[in-house]
Amino acid sequence: MRASRRWIVITLGAVAAIVLAGWVGGAWYFSDQMVASMHGGDPAYSETVLGVTTPPGGDPVVSLAPSKAAEKPGRWGLGWDGGSAMLGPVTARTADRVDRPLLSGVVPTAGTRAGIGWTHRSDPKVALGLDFSEIAVPSELGPMPAWYIPANKGKTWAILVHGSNADRQTMLKTADAVHRAGLPILDITYRNDAGVPASPDGVLHIGETEWRDLEGAVRTALDRGARDVVLFGGSYGGAIADRFLDRSPLAGRVSGLILDAPELSVPATLEWNAEQRHIPAPVTWLAARLCEWRAGIDVERIDVTRYPPRVRPPTLILQGGADEAHPVTTARQLAKDGPRLGWPIRYEEFAGAGHSEAWNYEPKRYESLVAEFLGETMKR
Shortest CA distance to 130 belongs to which of 166, 83, 176?
176
Q: Which of 130, 222, 214 is nearest to 180 (CA)?
A: 130
pLDDT-based confidence at 15, cuts 50/70/90? very low
Query: In terms of residue numbers, what domain contains 330?
Result: 124-264+305-379
DSSP-derived 3-state class of residue 15: helix
Task: Compute how many other C-beta atoms are within 10 angstroms of the C-beta atom of residue 19.
Answer: 12
- 216 within a domain of the structure (yes/no): yes
Report residue 17's pLDDT band, with 50, 70 and 90 as the boundaries.
Answer: very low
- Is 18 a residue whose pLDDT tops 70? no
Measure the CA angle with vertex 234, ends 232 and 235; round to 5°: 140
More confident residue, 120 or 283: 283
User: pLDDT class for 20, splitting at 50, 70, 90?
Assistant: very low
Residue 227 domain flag: yes
For the segment 82-111, what is each residue's pLDDT rounded down to a tens digit? 888 999 999 999 999 999 999 988 899 999
> Does residue 327 register a pLDDT over 70?
yes
What's the pLDDT tens digit per position in 216-255? 999 999 999 999 999 999 999 999 999 999 999 999 999 9
pLDDT for residue 41: 59
> What pLDDT does 6 receive?
58
User: For residue 25, what pLDDT is reported?
Assistant: 53
Strand partners, 83: 80
Which helix (DSSP H) or strand (DSSP E) does residue 335 occupy?
A: helix 328-341
pLDDT: which is higher, 284 or 209? 209
Mean pLDDT, range 51-56, rounded to an integer: 91
Task: Give first-to-last CA distance, the chain, whole Å.
Answer: 84
For residue 7, name the pLDDT band (cuts at 50, 70, 90). Answer: low
Same domain, 59 and 94: yes
Q: Are residues 171 and 248 in the same domain?
A: yes
Strand partners, 355: none
Hey, is 276 helix, strand or coil? helix
Structural domain ending residue among the three candidates 74, 95, 117: 117
**What's 103's domain CATH number?**
2.40.30
359 and 223 within one domain: yes
Residues ≥6 apart with Cβ < 8 Å to 53: 60, 61, 63
pLDDT (0 to 100) of residue 39: 75
Q: In terms of domains, do 85 and 101 share one? A: yes
CB atoms within 10 A of CB 354: 17
- pLDDT at position 89: 95
| pLDDT tens digits along 121-156 | 889 998 889 999 999 999 999 999 999 999 977 799
pLDDT band at 19; cut points 50, 70, 90: very low
Distance CA 369, CA 321 (A): 16
Confidence of residue 347 (pLDDT cuts 50, 70, 90): very high
Overall domain count for the chain: 3
| Per-residue confidence band for 161, with pLDDT thresholds at 50, 70 and 90 | very high
Q: pTM for the complete prediction?
A: 0.91
Asked if 6 and 99 sit in the same domain, the reply is no
